[in-house]
């Protein structure tokens, strides 16, 4: 097409899944000035951390975008890779185990069982669920232009989930995973959360907020650990949005400490938040009865909205949250 018809390589966009991602890279290595490569969960086995000559690299096109959805170690049957390969690398849900797909710890055992029972459908579901998610995300970004898939630059999934990265470059703005990814916007390693590709076939976007929990100091309460959840209330619609987990016994809460988390909602929240409800249930571990308190107190809750680039402060209507109950915080 180039030699006989005079077409310009910069006008071409190659999209590849798995091994096809590296094949697209081979094309770019031989066709200097190729316009764009979209790599959907590039294959990991025999490609991760190998020489640039045998895998996809940013030099293979003017713009190389990558979506990682199954970037686990080969021994654990991850079919993708975690290594950044493009100008922009997107890591939905951490880029490893996708929601409602078999988790890394279960993939090997499930794969062996399905292989022994000759279950092709089982192998595809267990081993290919997260690997195929990148394809579904990209298709969804084409079909649903209202689903923006905004992603945020961050060093790791852990940092993103801790609420440290939910902001975008003030000049370039947020980039969007999928078809509308833009080389003029923020590049590098970008993270976001999505819905499951297994349970919702209409749109996979989520709305993310950063929540700061400022613990109080109250008499005879030393520390606690358990399930903390949050619910937002819209100011205009008075809608109570779905309850989301902030922390499920991951950390020990201490007096006068600050814990920050990212929470992502299935609903399209486009209104001011007037109040938040914080739910608490103390951990039921064997040590919980004497190590952790069955009540806790937050002096303030702060909610950062990336959409409005603003943070709102919420004050408690009651000083103490007893295990198994909640406290309402209103904007103050």
Domains observed in the chain: 2-205 (3.40.50.1820), 208-331 (2.60.60.20)
Q: What is the CA radius of gyration of the chain?
A: 23
Instruction: Look at residue 270 in the predicted model and tell me its pLDDT.
Output: 87
- Three-state DSSP at 52 gives helix
Instruction: Look at residue 77 in the predicted model and tell me its pLDDT.
Output: 57
- Contact predicate 137/111, CB 8 Å: no
Name, in order, each residue with C-beta under 8 angstroms of 243's C-beta and a sequence gap of 6 or more: 229, 230, 231, 277, 279
Q: Is residue 186 within a helix (H) or strand (E), and if so which, with residue range?
A: none
Distance between CA atoms of 150 and 185, rounded to whole angstroms? 11
Instruction: Look at residue 119 in the predicted model and tell me its pLDDT.
Output: 42
310-330 mean pLDDT: 96
Q: Establish whether 70 is a catalytic residue.
A: no
% of the chain surpassing 70 pLDDT = 90
**Annotated catalytic residue: which of 17, 18, 68, 141?**
18
Q: What pLDDT, in 10s, does the model give residues 261-274?
A: 999 999 889 899 99
Instruction: Look at residue 2 in the predicted model and tell me its pLDDT.
Output: 86
**Annotated catalytic residue: which of 87, 131, 141, 323?**
131
Least confident range of 36-45, 103-112, 223-232: 103-112
DSSP 16-37: EETHHHHHHHHHHHHSTT--EE
Residue 166 has pLDDT above 90, yes or no: yes
Sequence length of the chain is 332
Distance between CA atoms of 315 and 304, rounded to whole angstroms? 15
Q: Establish whether 41 is a catalytic residue.
A: yes
Query: Is residue 120 very low, low, confident or very high in pLDDT (cuts 50, 70, 90)?
Result: very low
Distance between CA atoms of 149 and 39, rounded to whole angstroms? 17
Beta strands 88-92 and 188-192 are: parallel
Query: Is residue 105 very low, low, confident or very high in pLDDT (cuts 50, 70, 90)?
Result: low
**Annotated catalytic residue: which of 41, 97, 114, 140?**
41
Name, in order, each residue with C-beta under 8 angstroms of 260's C-beta and a sequence gap of 6 or more: 162, 163, 164, 210, 211, 212, 213
- Three-state DSSP at 226 gives strand
- Give how far Cα 210 sits from Cα of 150, 182, 257, 302, 307, Å: 14, 24, 16, 8, 11
- Give how far Cα 151 sits from Cα of 189, 245, 250, Å: 9, 20, 25
Q: What pLDDT, in 10s, does the model give residues 19-77?
A: 999 999 999 999 999 999 999 999 998 898 999 999 999 999 999 999 999 997 555 55
Q: Establish whether 18 is a catalytic residue.
A: yes
pTM, entire model: 0.90
């Amino acid at each position: 097409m180039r030699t006989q018809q005079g077409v310009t390589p910069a006008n071409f966009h190659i999209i590849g899944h798995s091994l096809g991602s590296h094949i697209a890279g081979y094309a770019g290595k031989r066709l200097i000035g190729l316009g764009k490569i979209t790599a959907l969960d590039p294959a990991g086995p025999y490609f991760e951390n190998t020489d640039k000559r045998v895998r996809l690299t940013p030099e293979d096109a003017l713009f190389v975008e990558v979506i990682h959805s199954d970037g686990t170690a080969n021994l654990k049957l991850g079919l993708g890779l975690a290594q950044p390969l493009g100008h922009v690398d997107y890591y939905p849900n951490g880029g490893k185990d996708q929601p409602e797909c078999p988790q890394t710890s279960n993939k090997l055992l499930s794969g062996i069982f399905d292989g022994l029972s000759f279950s092709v459908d089982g192998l595809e579901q267990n081993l290919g669920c997260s690997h195929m998610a990148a394809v579904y995300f990209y298709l969804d970004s084409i079909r649903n232009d209202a689903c923006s898939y905004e992603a945020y630059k961050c060093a790791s999934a852990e940092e993103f989930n801790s609420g440290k990265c939910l902001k975008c470059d003030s000049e370039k703005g947020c980039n969007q995973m999928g078809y509308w990814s833009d080389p003029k916007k923020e590049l590098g390693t970008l993270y976001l959360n999505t819905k499951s590709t297994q349970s919702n076939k209409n749109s996979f976007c989520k709305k993310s907020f950063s929540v700061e929990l400022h613990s109080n100091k109250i008499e005879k309460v030393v520390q606690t650990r358990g399930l903390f959840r949050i619910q937002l209330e819209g100011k205009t619609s008075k809608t109570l949005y779905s309850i989301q987990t902030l922390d499920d016994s991951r950390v020990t809460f201490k007096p006068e400490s600050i814990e920050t988390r990212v929470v992502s909602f299935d609903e399209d929240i486009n209104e001011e938040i007037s109040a938040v409800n914080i739910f608490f249930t103390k951990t039921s571990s064997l040590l919980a009865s004497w190590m952790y308190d069955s009540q806790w107190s937050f002096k303030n809750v702060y909610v950062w909205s990336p959409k409005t680039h603003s943070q709102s402060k919420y004050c408690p209507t009651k000083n103490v949250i007893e295990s198994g109950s909640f406290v309402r915080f209103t904007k103050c």
